[in-house]
C-alpha cells in the first residue's frame, strides 16, 4: 500500500511539473496532500470514533478543491462519546452555501468522527442535536 501511495504522489508531482511547463493552472488539481486527505477521510468515515465538536473559530486556508469548495481551518473542542475531551483544528472543504448558511460559526455544535489512530484528525458532519 505504501508503494501505491508513493507512486501516486510521484505521478501527481510529475503531472504538476508538466502542466507548469505548458502554462496550465494546476491550483485546483488534486495533489499528494489532497490524496492523503481523501484516504484519511475514507478511514474516518468507515471507522471513526463518534462525538460532538463545538466550533471555536473558523478561517479560510487559501486552498480550493477543484476550484469550487474552499478549505477551512476549523478550531473545535471535541468530546468523544467515551467522555474524552480535547481541542484540535479540523481541515475541511466547504461550499459557499454551507458557509453562508450560518451553521459554521463559533458556538455551533456538530456531530464529528475522529481518526482512531490520530485523534487530531476529524471530520464534521451534520449539526448535533
Checking DSSP bridges between strand 49-65 and strand 122-127, what pairing results, if any?
A: unpaired
Q: What tens digit of pLDDT does each residue of 28-46 get?
A: 566 787 788 888 889 999 9
Q: How confident is the model at residue 4 (pLDDT cuts 50, 70, 90)?
A: low
Residue-level pLDDT at 5 = 60
Question: Residue 22: CA atoms inside 13 Å, Cβ hemisphere, count?
Answer: 9
pLDDT band (50, 70, 90) for residue 122 = very high
Q: What are the pLDDT digits (tens) for 45-102? A: 999 999 999 999 999 998 887 667 899 999 999 999 989 999 999 999 899 999 999 9
Q: What is the mean pLDDT of residues 115-129?
A: 93
3 state SS of 119: coil
- Which comes out higher in pLDDT, residue 41 or 14? 41
pLDDT at 118 over 90: yes
What's this model's pTM, rounded to 2 decimal places? Answer: 0.72
Which class for 78: exposed (0-12), middle (13-18), buried (19 or more C-beta within 10 A)?
Answer: buried
Domain 2-127 has CATH 2.40.50: yes
Amino acid at each position: 500500500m505504501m508503494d501505491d501511495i508513493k507512486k501516486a504522489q510521484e505521478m501527481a508531482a510529475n503531472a504538476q511539473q508538466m502542466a507548469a511547463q505548458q502554462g496550465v493552472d494546476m491550483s485546483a488539481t488534486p495533489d499528494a496532500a489532497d490524496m492523503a486527505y481523501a484516504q484519511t477521510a475514507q478511514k474516518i468515515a468507515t471507522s471513526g470514533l463518534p462525538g460532538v465538536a463545538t466550533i471555536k473559530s473558523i478561517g479560510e486556508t487559501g486552498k480550493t478543491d477543484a476550484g469550487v469548495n474552499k478549505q477551512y481551518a476549523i478550531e473545535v473542542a471535541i468530546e468523544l462519546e467515551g467522555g474524552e475531551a480535547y481541542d484540535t483544528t479540523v481541515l475541511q472543504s466547504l461550499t459557499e452555501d454551507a458557509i453562508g448558511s450560518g451553521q459554521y460559526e463559533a458556538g455551533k455544535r456538530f456531530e464529528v468522527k475522529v481518526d482512531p489512530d490520530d485523534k487530531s484528525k476529524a471530520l464534521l458532519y451534520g449539526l448535533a442535536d
